[in-house]
Structure 1
Amino acid sequence: MPPTGQQTFQHQLVPGGQMQSAYFQYSQCNGKKKALLIGINYFGSPEALNGCIEDARRMKKFLLGHGYREEDMVMLTDDASHPRQQPTRQNMIDAMQWLVRDAQPNDSLFFHYSGHGGQTKDLDGDEDDGYDEVIYPVDFKRTSHIVDDEMHMIMVRGLPTGCRLTAIFDACHSGSALDLPYAYSTEGKLKEPNVKLGAAKGLFSTLVSFETRDMGGMIQGVTDLLDVASGRAQKAHEYTKATRTCAADVMSWSGCKDNQTSADAQIGGRSTGAMSDAFLTALARNPNPSYQQLLVEMRWILKEKYDQKPQVRSHRSR
């Protein structure tokens, strides 16, 4: 079981750069369990995927075997016949709000998204590389994407002390899709942003990937790259650390770095997201790993066939 009581850590405030103690509390995971599972194949579109609905179904089966009840789950897939079960933008926002509604200490909330992801120009200065991460509802061409700032505001900002949220993003450009400030390496150490490399790769991926064809994420120009590679990026990192912490117990797993893509794969004769498959395979091999062990195993599973590197992030610095 995780430690009980208040846990403290330090983060740097932007104005003046002074240090201030912050705190959080681990969930004991003996409260209510709720889950939101989203899988979008984008049927009939040029950008159709194959394995996302299957990912949602496999994740649901996994959760049913780990104390979650079907009546406490919401699943949105674009093969659903009922309009409220379609992964439209409004239904996804409503479902995120449902997931965290009436959350209490020691609850266990679980979010899984499998579908297209991308990047768009950061407008509030909280991104190291100058780009917000986004996910794409089935109706995104009509209603637009969902930005990481909005997901953080809905699912993280108002969580009570000691409530756990585990979020999984099997999507391209999803490394920081929940806007959590602290990224961890396979050695269990905090990672600092590589500003220049991240900016260059982020701009390149923005130019060549499907997901950025939605106006805001298209060509931003060389001036954006130079801007991101300057001190502004470090300020963004400090700002995020100061404004994206909370007293809850929040972890985010993603299929790749912000500047990478996540594979829609065929594994064992089954269409699936490579990251979702690696997550479930790793937990089947070791049902009780540490976060570090799980990250190492997922990367080991993927590295033979895929370039993507799963990421783990938290709202806390330990």
Structure 2
Amino acid sequence: MSGDVPAKPRGIQRALLIAVEKVSGFPDLPQAHTDVVKMRDFLVNFRGYHPENIIIMMHHKSVLSTLYPSKANMLREIDLMVKRTSQYDRIFFYYTGHGDQVTCRHNSEPDKKDEAILTYTGKRIIDNILKEHLVDPLPQGAKLFALWDCCHSHTVLDLEHFNCNGLWRRPFKALSGLARKTMSLGKRLSSSISKDNWEGRFSSKDDFQSKYVLPENDGADLCRVTSPDSYLSPCTFFCPMTLPENQVKASVVSLSACKDNELAYDDNVTGETVTKFFIDYLGEMHMQRKRTIKLILVRTES
């Protein structure tokens, strides 16, 4: 029919998964390589990613040396993924390893410190560079979800209005057994910014409230937050929101293991990490959804 609205092109899902297990001068993270493989399997089995669209980087004999997580290799793979991203695509970026803070030399950080992730050679990639390569070049309409299982990671993408976009505005049910995840104030899964059509609920045992949104649910009962207009400075928590039709940037969600001044903690005895919790929780949500749909179908057919 001439009046039909053209179907929206189906985008591609891509993922870049990075694990840094050992860095000279830092404690080893024996769960990192295990977690990055589990994350790959989770994306394929539960989120519909095709294996050929997932890149794993780690210092291990199972991967090519060009995919060892050095600074040059990591930035190259980020650039390649972003370059291939269209306005209809979704990309998932995951880093498990060591986070750090360094002195800010360009007066852009309120606490005078830049957040950074470490490469396996011990070099740092600071937040400004990550934003420049991973966020800024994304086309309007594209969607990025980034998960950081590392210390000092809350503003590691330097996203605008992260206070307004903290996604902490509504309380959520506390989940048991999470206090082991963060050394300082219990495990925290804190959202840094911006809207995507993701849906989920997370909070820690000490009532820190946070959430982010995962695909495949309308999320009607959740508070959606988008990047507001950026003409107000500093961020006020009440900055006006940009209407969807006026948004000119990609949709970005950044989920971190802890705040900038905190240390994330892996339990190497039990294998408990933020990554494991993320996968287990969302995997269970997926299975519950499938069971509910099956039950509805059975009742309908009977």
Q: TM-score range by the shorter chain?
A: 0.5 to 0.7
Q: Which amino acid aligns with 2:252?
A: V
Indicate conservation of the 8 Å contact 2:23/2:121, yes or no: no
Distance in 2 between residues matched to 1:45 and 1:29, nearest whole Å: 48
Distance in 2 between residues matched to 1:174 and 1:46, nearest whole Å: 17
Gaps of at least 5 residues in structure 1 are 1-27, 190-233, 290-318
- What is the match of residue 178 of structure 2? none
- CA offset at residue 125 of structure 1? 2.3
Indicate conservation of the 8 Å contact 1:41/1:53, yes or no: yes
* 1:144-223 mapped onto 2 (5 Å cutoff): 144-181=123-160, 182=162, 183-188=165-170
- What is the match of residue 248 of structure 1? 250
Deviations 1:189-230 (A, max 9, x none): 9xxxxxxxxxxxxxxxxxxxxxxxxxxxxxxxxxxxxxxxxx
TM-score, with structure 2 as normaliser: 0.62
* 1:1-318 mapped onto 2 (5 Å cutoff): 30-42=10-22, 47-65=27-45, 66-81=47-62, 82-140=64-122, 144-181=123-160, 182=162, 183-188=165-170, 247-266=249-268, 269=270, 271=271, 274-287=273-286
Distance in 2 between residues matched to 1:145 and 1:63, nearest whole Å: 27
- CA offset at residue 44 of structure 1? 7.5
Name the CA shift for 1:40/1:237 in 2 (closer, same or farther; >3 Å). same
Q: Give the secondary structure class of the aligned counterpart of 2:286.
A: coil
Distance in 1 between residues matched to 2:20 and 2:167, nearest whole Å: 29
- CA offset at residue 30 of structure 1? 3.3
- CA offset at residue 236 of structure 1? 6.7
- CA offset at residue 235 of structure 1? 6.2
Distance in 2 between residues matched to 1:127 and 1:110, nearest whole Å: 26
- What is the match of residue 229 of structure 1? none
Q: Give the secondary structure class of the aligned counterpart of 2:22.
A: coil
Name the CA shift for 1:281/1:246 in 2 (closer, same or farther; >3 Å). farther
Name the CA shift for 1:123/1:88 in 2 (closer, same or farther; >3 Å). same
Structure showing greater relative contact order (alpha-carbon pairs closer than 8 Å, 6 or more residues apart): 1
Name the CA shift for 1:120/1:246 in 2 (closer, same or farther; >3 Å). farther
- What is the match of residue 193 of structure 2? none
Query: How many pairs were matched up?
Result: 209
Q: Which amino acid aligns with 1:107?
A: D
The root-mean-square deviation of aligned C-alpha atoms, in Å, is 2.9
- CA offset at residue 287 of structure 1? 3.4
Deviations 1:104-134 (A, max 9, x none): 1120101000000010112222222221100
Distance in 2 between residues matched to 1:246 and 1:157, nearest whole Å: 11
Gaps of at least 5 residues in structure 2 are 1-7, 172-231, 240-246, 289-302
Distance in 1 between residues matched to 2:9 and 2:109, nearest whole Å: 31
TM-score, with structure 1 as normaliser: 0.59
Name the CA shift for 1:150/1:79 in 2 (closer, same or farther; >3 Å). same
Name the CA shift for 1:44/1:172 in 2 (closer, same or farther; >3 Å). closer
Deviations 1:127-165 (A, max 9, x none): 22221100000012xxx2000100100011011110001
Name the CA shift for 1:188/1:130 in 2 (closer, same or farther; >3 Å). farther
Distance in 2 between residues matched to 1:62 and 1:76, nearest whole Å: 16
Deviations 1:13-32 (A, max 9, x none): xxxxxxxxxxxxxxx89301
Q: Give the secondary structure class of the aligned counterpart of 2:61.
A: coil
- CA offset at residue 285 of structure 1? 3.0
- CA offset at residue 35 of structure 1? 0.6
